[in-house]
Protein backbone atom coordinates (compact mmCIF):
# COMPACT_ATOMS: atom_id res chain seq x y z
CA UNK A 1 0.00 0.00 0.00
CA UNK A 2 2.15 2.82 1.28
CA UNK A 3 5.42 3.69 -0.38
CA UNK A 4 7.74 2.27 2.22
CA UNK A 5 5.91 -1.02 2.36
CA UNK A 6 6.40 -1.76 -1.30
CA UNK A 7 9.98 -0.53 -1.38
CA UNK A 8 10.86 -2.70 1.58
CA UNK A 9 9.06 -5.74 0.24
CA UNK A 10 10.97 -5.46 -3.02
CA UNK A 11 14.25 -5.33 -1.14
CA UNK A 12 13.36 -8.35 0.98
CA UNK A 13 12.48 -10.44 -2.04
CA UNK A 14 15.58 -9.19 -3.83
CA UNK A 15 17.80 -10.36 -0.97
CA UNK A 16 16.25 -13.78 -1.33
CA UNK A 17 16.85 -13.92 -5.06
CA UNK A 18 20.35 -12.45 -5.12
CA UNK A 19 21.20 -14.92 -2.41
CA UNK A 20 19.95 -18.00 -4.19
CA UNK A 21 20.85 -17.10 -7.75
CA UNK A 22 23.56 -14.47 -7.62
CA UNK A 23 23.46 -11.11 -9.31
CA UNK A 24 23.35 -12.38 -12.87
CA UNK A 25 21.02 -15.24 -12.06
CA UNK A 26 18.47 -12.90 -10.53
CA UNK A 27 15.89 -11.31 -12.80
CA UNK A 28 13.74 -8.29 -12.14
CA UNK A 29 10.80 -10.24 -13.51
CA UNK A 30 11.15 -12.97 -10.91
CA UNK A 31 11.46 -10.45 -8.13
CA UNK A 32 8.33 -8.70 -9.34
CA UNK A 33 6.51 -12.01 -9.50
CA UNK A 34 7.34 -12.85 -5.88
CA UNK A 35 6.50 -9.35 -4.70
CA UNK A 36 3.22 -9.66 -6.59
CA UNK A 37 3.65 -6.40 -8.38
CA UNK A 38 4.25 -5.36 -11.95
CA UNK A 39 7.72 -5.31 -13.43
CA UNK A 40 8.15 -1.53 -13.80
CA UNK A 41 7.17 -1.08 -10.16
CA UNK A 42 10.71 -2.05 -9.26
CA UNK A 43 12.05 0.71 -11.49
CA UNK A 44 9.77 3.11 -9.70
CA UNK A 45 11.70 2.60 -6.47
CA UNK A 46 15.11 1.65 -7.79
CA UNK A 47 16.76 3.11 -10.87
CA UNK A 48 18.11 -0.22 -12.01
CA UNK A 49 19.11 -3.70 -10.97
CA UNK A 50 22.56 -2.69 -9.80
CA UNK A 51 21.20 0.05 -7.56
CA UNK A 52 18.96 -2.49 -5.87
CA UNK A 53 21.88 -4.81 -5.29
CA UNK A 54 24.10 -2.00 -4.07
CA UNK A 55 21.54 -0.78 -1.57
CA UNK A 56 21.39 -4.24 -0.02
CA UNK A 57 25.13 -4.39 0.43
CA UNK A 58 25.86 -0.76 1.23
CA UNK A 59 22.96 -0.21 3.60
CA UNK A 60 21.63 -3.54 4.85
CA UNK A 61 24.88 -5.47 5.11
CA UNK A 62 26.99 -2.76 6.68
CA UNK A 63 24.20 -1.78 9.05
CA UNK A 64 24.15 -5.38 10.17
CA UNK A 65 27.92 -5.48 10.62
CA UNK A 66 27.87 -2.31 12.67
CA UNK A 67 25.03 -3.56 14.83
CA UNK A 68 27.06 -6.73 15.33
CA UNK A 69 30.25 -4.97 16.39
CA UNK A 70 28.41 -2.68 18.76
CA UNK A 71 27.87 -5.58 21.16
CA UNK A 72 28.94 -5.09 24.74
CA UNK A 73 32.10 -6.77 25.87
CA UNK A 74 32.24 -8.73 29.07
CA UNK A 75 35.19 -9.16 31.37
CA UNK A 76 35.87 -12.62 29.95
CA UNK A 77 37.15 -12.71 26.37
CA UNK A 78 36.23 -16.32 25.78
CA UNK A 79 32.66 -15.66 26.92
CA UNK A 80 32.59 -12.57 24.78
CA UNK A 81 33.68 -14.21 21.56
CA UNK A 82 31.64 -17.33 22.19
CA UNK A 83 28.53 -15.22 22.60
CA UNK A 84 29.48 -13.14 19.58
CA UNK A 85 29.54 -16.19 17.35
CA UNK A 86 26.77 -18.16 19.04
CA UNK A 87 24.29 -15.32 18.67
CA UNK A 88 24.65 -15.50 14.90
CA UNK A 89 22.67 -18.75 15.08
CA UNK A 90 19.64 -16.70 15.99
CA UNK A 91 19.79 -13.95 13.40
CA UNK A 92 16.57 -13.52 11.46
CA UNK A 93 16.44 -15.25 8.13
CA UNK A 94 16.57 -11.89 6.41
CA UNK A 95 19.67 -10.80 8.30
CA UNK A 96 21.35 -14.13 7.65
CA UNK A 97 20.75 -13.78 3.95
CA UNK A 98 22.02 -10.22 3.93
CA UNK A 99 25.10 -11.39 5.83
CA UNK A 100 25.63 -14.24 3.39
CA UNK A 101 25.31 -11.90 0.46
CA UNK A 102 27.86 -9.57 2.03
CA UNK A 103 30.34 -12.40 2.49
CA UNK A 104 29.80 -13.38 -1.11
CA UNK A 105 30.79 -9.89 -2.19
CA UNK A 106 33.63 -9.86 0.34
CA UNK A 107 35.05 -12.98 -1.27
CA UNK A 108 34.49 -11.25 -4.64
CA UNK A 109 32.15 -14.00 -5.73
CA UNK A 110 29.60 -11.35 -6.66
CA UNK A 111 29.27 -7.60 -6.95
CA UNK A 112 31.76 -5.31 -8.61
CA UNK A 113 35.05 -3.53 -7.98
CA UNK A 114 33.44 -0.61 -6.20
CA UNK A 115 31.79 -2.83 -3.60
CA UNK A 116 35.03 -4.78 -3.20
CA UNK A 117 36.87 -1.60 -2.29
CA UNK A 118 34.37 -0.82 0.43
CA UNK A 119 34.86 -4.35 1.73
CA UNK A 120 38.63 -3.99 1.71
CA UNK A 121 38.41 -0.84 3.77
CA UNK A 122 36.21 -2.53 6.30
CA UNK A 123 38.57 -5.49 6.45
CA UNK A 124 41.46 -3.24 7.45
CA UNK A 125 39.58 -2.28 10.61
CA UNK A 126 39.06 -5.87 11.75
CA UNK A 127 42.49 -6.82 13.11
CA UNK A 128 43.08 -3.55 15.01
CA UNK A 129 39.63 -3.73 16.57
CA UNK A 130 40.15 -7.22 17.89
CA UNK A 131 43.64 -6.36 19.00
CA UNK A 132 42.14 -3.62 21.15
CA UNK A 133 39.62 -6.01 22.65
CA UNK A 134 42.21 -8.70 23.35
CA UNK A 135 45.04 -6.43 24.46
CA UNK A 136 44.31 -6.54 28.21
CA UNK A 137 44.29 -10.33 28.16
CA UNK A 138 47.43 -10.97 26.14
CA UNK A 139 50.50 -11.73 28.23
CA UNK A 140 53.65 -12.60 26.33
CA UNK A 141 54.38 -10.05 23.65
CA UNK A 142 56.21 -12.26 21.15
CA UNK A 143 53.23 -13.81 19.41
CA UNK A 144 50.41 -11.51 20.52
CA UNK A 145 49.63 -10.37 17.01
CA UNK A 146 49.70 -13.93 15.72
CA UNK A 147 47.15 -14.94 18.33
CA UNK A 148 44.82 -12.12 17.33
CA UNK A 149 45.25 -13.05 13.67
CA UNK A 150 44.56 -16.70 14.38
CA UNK A 151 41.45 -15.87 16.36
CA UNK A 152 40.12 -13.63 13.59
CA UNK A 153 40.79 -16.38 11.09
CA UNK A 154 38.96 -18.88 13.23
CA UNK A 155 36.04 -16.50 13.71
CA UNK A 156 35.80 -16.12 9.95
CA UNK A 157 35.26 -19.85 9.46
CA UNK A 158 32.80 -20.08 12.34
CA UNK A 159 30.78 -17.18 10.97
CA UNK A 160 30.83 -18.78 7.54
CA UNK A 161 29.59 -22.05 8.95
CA UNK A 162 26.56 -20.43 10.52
CA UNK A 163 25.75 -17.76 7.99
CA UNK A 164 26.91 -19.16 4.67
CA UNK A 165 26.56 -22.90 5.16
CA UNK A 166 23.50 -22.27 7.30
CA UNK A 167 24.51 -24.66 10.08
CA UNK A 168 23.73 -24.45 13.75
CA UNK A 169 26.88 -24.32 15.87
CA UNK A 170 26.43 -25.40 19.50
CA UNK A 171 27.80 -23.01 22.09
CA UNK A 172 30.11 -25.67 23.49
CA UNK A 173 31.86 -26.28 20.18
CA UNK A 174 32.40 -22.59 19.64
CA UNK A 175 33.77 -22.17 23.13
CA UNK A 176 36.14 -25.12 22.74
CA UNK A 177 37.68 -23.75 19.56
CA UNK A 178 38.02 -20.21 20.80
CA UNK A 179 39.54 -21.53 24.02
CA UNK A 180 42.14 -23.48 22.10
CA UNK A 181 43.32 -20.37 20.28
CA UNK A 182 43.12 -18.17 23.36
CA UNK A 183 44.65 -20.82 25.63
CA UNK A 184 46.61 -18.94 28.26
CA UNK A 185 44.75 -15.63 27.95
CA UNK A 186 42.07 -15.21 30.56
Partner DNA sequence: ATATAATTCTAACGAACGTTAGGTAGAAAA
Partner DNA sequence: TTTTCTACCTAACGTTCGTTAGAATTATAT
Residue 48 binds what, of a second copy, DNA, none (CB under 5 to 8 Å, by partner type)?
DNA
44 contact, one of a second copy, DNA, none, CB 5-8 Å limit per kind: DNA
CB of 109 to a second copy, least distance (A): 5
Q: Please pick, from the candidates 8, 48, 183, 186, the single residue that binds a second copy as defined by CB under 8 A.
A: 183
Site string for a second copy, 12-51 (x = CB under 8 A): ---------xxxxx--------------------------
**What is the full DSSP assignment across the chain?**
--HHHHHHHHHHHHHHHHHHHHHHH--HHHHHHHHTS-HHHHHHHSSSHHHHHHHIIIIIIHHHHHHHHT----S-HHHHHHHHHHGGGGS-HHHHHHHHHHHHHHTTSSS-HHHHHHHHHHHHHHHHHHHHHHGGG---GGGHHHHHHHHHHHHHHHHIIIIIS-PPPPHHHHHHHHHHHTTT--
Residue with Cβ nearer DNA (2 or 72): 2
The item of DNA, a second copy, none sharing an interface with residue 104, based on CB under 5 to 8 Å by kind, is a second copy
Q: 30 touches which of DNA, a second copy, none (CB within 5 to 8 A by kind)?
A: DNA
- Footprint of a second copy on 59-88 (CB under 8 A): none
**62-69 helix and 93-106 helix, angle to the nearest 10 degrees:** 100
176 binds, among DNA, a second copy, none (CB under 5 to 8 A by kind): a second copy
Among 8-16, 50-58, 69-77, 141-149, the segment contacting a second copy (CB under 8 A)? 141-149
DSSP state of 103: H
Q: Does residue 154 interact with a second copy by CB under 8 A? A: yes
- The distance of closest approach from Cβ of residue 62 to DNA in the complex, given in angstroms and rounded to an integer, is 23
Please report, for the chain, how many H helices and E strands are present, in that order: 10, 0
Amino acid sequence: MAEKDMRERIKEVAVEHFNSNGYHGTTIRNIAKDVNCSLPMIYYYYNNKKELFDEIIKREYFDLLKRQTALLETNNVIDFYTKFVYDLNFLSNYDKKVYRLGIKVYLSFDGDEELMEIMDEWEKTILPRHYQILKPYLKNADNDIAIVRTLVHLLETLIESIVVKNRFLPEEEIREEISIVLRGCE
